[in-house]
Amino acid sequence: MAQRHALIKRLSAVETLGCTSVICTDKTGMLTQNEMTAKNLWVAHRSLTVTGVGYAPEGTINEYDQPVPPAVPGDLKFLLTGAGLCNNARLLPPDAKSPQWKIIGDPTEAALKVVALKAGTDPEAELLKTPRVRELPFDSRRKLMSTIHQSGSERIVYLKGAPKEVLALCTLFFSGEQSQPMDDNLRAEIMSINDEYARTGLRVLAVATRVLPESVATYTSDLVERDLAFLGLIAMMDPPRTEVAEAIGKCHRASIRVIMITGDYGLTAESIARRIGIVTQDHPRIITGSDLDQMAEVDLQETFRGEVIFARASPEHKLRVVSTLQSMGHVVAVTGDGVNDAPALKKADIGVAMGIAGTDVAKEAADMVLTDDNFASIVNAVEEGRAVYANIKKFTTYIFTSNTPEAVPFILFAFSGARIPLALNIMQILSIDLGTDLVPALALGAERPEPGVMDKPPRNLDEHVITPSLLARAYLWLGPIQSIAAISAFFFTYWTSGYWGQFLDLPATGTLYLSATTMALAAVVTTQIGNVLAQRTERRSIFEIGFFSNRFIWVGIATELVVISVIVYVPVFQQIFGTATFPPEYWLFLLAWAPVLLVAEELRKGILRWKERRTTRTMHVGDSA
């Protein structure tokens, strides 16, 4: 039962994605994750560059384009030692099964160990010399983590985290092999360097250290994370996935807004958002978590009128943003991978967790799980959700169309005072609804997304599948044409048997009558061939998508022709459905009706496309004026 409920939940989420109007993301699925690389170091007023890409410890640390000698003691070694020890990732060298370096743990922490190895510092060897005593894990409130190590008789604290938060805990600045008091000028210099890195899209971490006094016996953040010595900055690059910019462009064309809500520094978030196309304006608004705490609800709603990025956001801030967007009538999808994302994932209309990097808590809170951790897959799911909804409408229209020729014979019979015989009997109607229509309708459900489906705004979540336009199309346009075909086939049988021009008082029993009803039944089936082809698209011509792009349609057409042939020619089924054979040449008359509904729909769609192009040209002329 639980598995069945989960499956229904997932399928519902895919369909709901079709009406998503806002996607809130923390860069989740947008960056490569497998190429996180340290690119710059800043230590003791010196800016260093790092060569090499990925997790292979191949590259050098350069200063003024000259390699820094490996394992240099002093400030650089202290910086990289601290980054390597305050770390839970593991590097796995190539082996017989994999020729590539791999990691276990967080990609950011792995990148720190890689840059340490490039500088000749081995974090694993350092850990043996200074074993870990305790860890104070990262949390979104502190925006940092720290570890405590035993070095001889001393306990040393290493800490890494967001530069601004780390700086606030530092009273000393490490330079060379000595420390000096931290002052406002040093803080301003460090934040200036941090901003330079962030503007280029680099993710910046600060590292600090402290020798723990003997008086500290309890390892709490208030006692441990204070009076620190600042060691330096490490700036890392995680390039966006190549397909993400295209996916963001699809979202914009589909009137789906993508909003970045991240714990990163604001300038870093802006740089990444600009690089992948989330923001395009020169000065998007960047709202930090502290700004959000002081912002009234009406002011928050007003910010969504322009481009906005939420930085340094906590789980509570993400939850508030999602709730506000929902109160404004948006259908909100949220992406996430961590425990801190769970409340927003649960609150969202569609929560999307990462299958590779995501935690079990995030996956349980979400409605969908991405197996490839790729944001582009979310956009593909939106497209698929729209296709699912469109396909439901397609086979609903297809089925409703045949209701009209099923009802018309009874209307004619009643209004003529029974002088016009019934062109279809009950069993024949059932053979259409439960027999010939079944497989083609299912084939429409497998139709691929129509070209241009992502160029429309999201539908309203409250919109019903059965709309007035759908009913009008089925009952007032296609249905009457199909009714004319069925009634014409019915009378055609009489007229070719000597009752030319006669509509009333025709034989209502006997072989001739059974043949006439069979012809009416066969006419409904053959016109449904053109109808199923016509329903494959909503606006586009079938010549654009190709007649054979959905092979299941032709399986459905073949199936309904087989079923009608069995009903017409097999004696047992003739007795069940009240049918009789008719001359083989009558099939020419029936097949002549087959393309009529397709032609009628092609004309209607052509007129709609012409009107849309005309409206677009008029708007362009107005904009130019």
CA–CA distances in Å: residue 565 to residues 511, 557, 573: 18, 12, 10
- DSSP reduced 3-state for 552: helix
Percent helix, strand, coil in the chain, to 5, is 50, 15, 30
As given in the structure block, the two tokens for residue 251 are 């979202």
List helix spans (H) across 402-509: 403-415, 426-431, 438-444, 468-471, 479-495
Instruction: State how far the Cα of 168 lies from the Cα of 230, in Å rounded to an integer.
Output: 10
Pair 321, 347: CB distance under 8 Å: no
Considering the candidates 26, 75, 264, 341, report the single residue annotated as catalytic: 26
Instruction: State how far the Cα of 341 lies from the Cα of 151, in Å rounded to an integer.
Output: 37
Edge-to-edge strand ranges of the sheet holding 368-370:
257-260, 22-25, 332-336, 350-354, 368-370
Instruction: State how far the Cα of 448 lies from the Cα of 232, in Å rounded to an integer.
Output: 53
Dihedral sign (CA 408, 411, 415, 416): positive
402, containing H or E segment: none
| Integer Rg of the chain from CA | 35
Instruction: State how far the Cα of 343 lies from the Cα of 465, in Å rounded to an integer.
Output: 31
Residue-level length of the chain? 625
Instruction: State how far the Cα of 315 lies from the Cα of 348, in Å rounded to an integer.
Output: 13
Pair 14, 389: CB distance under 8 Å: no
- Torsion angles phi and psi, residue 310, rounded to 5: -105, 120
Instruction: State how far the Cα of 500 lies from the Cα of 539, in Å rounded to an integer.
Output: 41
State yes or no: is 227 an active-site residue. no
As given in the structure block, the two tokens for residue 82 are 């601290």
Chain center to CA of 468? 30
Instruction: State how far the Cα of 318 lies from the Cα of 284, in Å rounded to an integer.
Output: 19
As given in the structure block, the two tokens for residue 86 are 């305050």
CA–CA distances in Å: residue 440 to residues 283, 447, 529: 53, 11, 9
Instruction: State how far the Cα of 565 lies from the Cα of 341, in Å rounded to an integer.
Output: 59
Smallest Cα–Cα separation from 193: which of 221, 169, 171, 173?
Answer: 173
Pair 578, 514: CB distance under 8 Å: yes
| SS3 sequence of 250-293 | HHHHCCCEEEEECCCCHHHHHHHHHHHCCCCCCCCEEEEHHHHH
The residues annotated as belonging to the active site are 26
